[in-house]
């Protein structure tokens, strides 16, 4: 079975600025795909090319093995998305906005279906509120409801947690997992909040300056990579001495006033923790830094 989505060697320039310089990626059916990169890396341009908002200079996009230029309508019927931010008609209510959105997919949902969709994203009881009166979080939720209203196979969420409070972010994460597990959707998430992405993605790509930096499954990329261990201690000097005399002597990355940063791997972390305790020095805190953040910073540092 071909991948549900495949982008091959995408190029796009805006006058002299090369926004995309050969981006390629593959998204498999039923997975949550993380699309990562710094600001200006080319994420939005790639998503816009994918959604036919802009025409790439060269390169191809395939939906289930078919070039989307030949099946644009079929492809866009199978996609629900939020591009950059959810924009709706400010003078219309949430209910009406959702209804009009569904009608553009040739669907005429009943009021119950609309109310159910709003309930799914936590907007129950807010059906009649006008879009202009909504908070950013409510707008984001409406965007997700609109992305789901026509029951698409693929959901593309560009910065979906923008404007959400911590509770909203947790609910969104649960909703995304539900979309994958219960509704069997394929989900592409572009986000700057790496810790959020890390918790849910099955595979991911990092792009930088319009080119692929890395792509692979989350297991391979995150759990096989090095991690940074932060050790906070009031006796840093004595602890550093003991580490230098141990098999971990080459693992020290830097020493700060009350903190030692060490390089390790996920497999070694538990043993390292145990060995440090055996060194019998006070340790106030021991934690690994976010793995995806490390990978991201390492790959995009130039």
Partner 1 sequence: MGNLIYVELYKTFAKPRTYIGLIAIILLIGLIQIGYYLSKEDIGGQIKSMMGDSVTVENLSLNGNMVCYLVMQMLYFHLPIIVALVSGDSISGEMSSGTIRALMVKPAPRWKLFLAKWIANQFYLLIVVLVIYFFGLLLSRFMFGNGDIVVYGNEISILSKGELLVRFTKAIALSYLSLTVISNLAFMLSSFMENSVAPIVITMVINIVFLIIGSLTFEFFEPIQQVLFTKHMSVWTYSFELNPDLKEMNKSLIILLLYILGFFSIAFYSFTKKDITQ
Give contact residues for partner 1 (rule: CB under 8 A): 14, 48, 51-55, 72-77, 79, 81, 83-92, 96, 100-101, 103-106, 108, 146
- Choice between 122 and 143, CB closer to partner 1: 143
From the CB of 15, what's the least distance to partner 1, in Å? 11
Helix or strand run (H / E) with residue 171: helix 166-181
- Choice between 123 and 147, CB closer to partner 1: 147
From the CB of 77, what's the least distance to partner 1, in Å? 4
From the CB of 269, what's the least distance to partner 1, in Å? 43
From the CB of 245, what's the least distance to partner 1, in Å? 59
- Choice between 76 and 240, CB closer to partner 1: 76
- Choice between 4 and 272, CB closer to partner 1: 4
From the CB of 117, what's the least distance to partner 1, in Å? 16
- Side-chain-facing half-sphere of 56: CA atoms under 13 Å: 27
**What does the block give as tokens for 261?**
């940063």
From the CB of 31, what's the least distance to partner 1, in Å? 21
- Choice between 133 and 277, CB closer to partner 1: 133
Angle at 297 between CA 292 and CA 298, to 5 degrees: 100
Helix or strand run (H / E) with residue 170: helix 166-181
- Choice between 95 and 198, CB closer to partner 1: 95
Whether the Cβ atoms of residue 93 and residue 49 lie closer than 8 Å to each other: no
What is the sign, positive or negative, of the torsion defined by CA atoms of 211, 214, 216, 217?
Answer: negative
Burial of 116 (0-12, 13-18, 19+ CB in 10 A): middle
Q: For 280, phi and psi rounded to 5 degrees?
A: 60, 40
Whole-angstrom distance, CA of residue 22 vs CA of residue 58 = 9
Whether the Cβ atoms of residue 252 and residue 271 lie closer than 8 Å to each other: no
């Amino acid at each position: 079975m071909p991948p549900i989505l495949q982008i091959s060697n995408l190029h796009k320039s805006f006058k002299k600025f090369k926004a995309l310089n050969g981006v390629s990626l593959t998204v498999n059916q039923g997975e949550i795909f993380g699309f990562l990169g710094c600001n200006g890396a080319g994420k939005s341009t790639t998503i816009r090319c994918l959604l036919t908002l802009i025409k790439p200079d060269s390169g191809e996009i395939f939906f289930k093995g078919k070039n989307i230029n030949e099946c644009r309508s079929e492809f866009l019927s199978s996609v629900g998305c939020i591009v950059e931010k959810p924009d709706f008609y400010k003078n219309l209510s949430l209910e009406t906005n959702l209804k009009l959105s569904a009608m553009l997919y040739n669907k005429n949902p009943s009021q119950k279906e609309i109310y159910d969709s709003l309930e799914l994203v936590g907007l129950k009881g807010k059906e009649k509120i006008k879009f202009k009166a909504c908070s950013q979080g409510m707008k984001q939720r409406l965007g997700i409801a609109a992305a789901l209203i026509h029951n698409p196979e693929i959901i593309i969420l560009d910065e979906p947690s923008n404007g959400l409070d911590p509770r909203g972010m947790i609910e969104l994460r649960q909703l995304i997992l539900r979309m994958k597990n219960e509704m069997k959707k394929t989900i592409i998430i572009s986000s700057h909040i790496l810790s959020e992405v890390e918790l849910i993605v099955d595979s991911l790509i990092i792009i930088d300056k319009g080119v692929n930096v890395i792509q692979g499954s989350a297991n391979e990329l995150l759990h096989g990579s090095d991690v940074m261990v932060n050790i906070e201690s009031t006796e840093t000097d004595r602890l550093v001495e003991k580490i230098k005399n141990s098999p971990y002597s080459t693992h020290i990355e830097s020493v700060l006033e009350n903190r030692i940063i060490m390089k390790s791997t996920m497999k070694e972390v538990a043993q390292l923790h145990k060995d440090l305790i055996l060194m019998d020095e006070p340790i106030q805190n021991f934690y690994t830094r976010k793995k995806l953040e490390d990978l991201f910073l390492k790959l995009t540092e130039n």
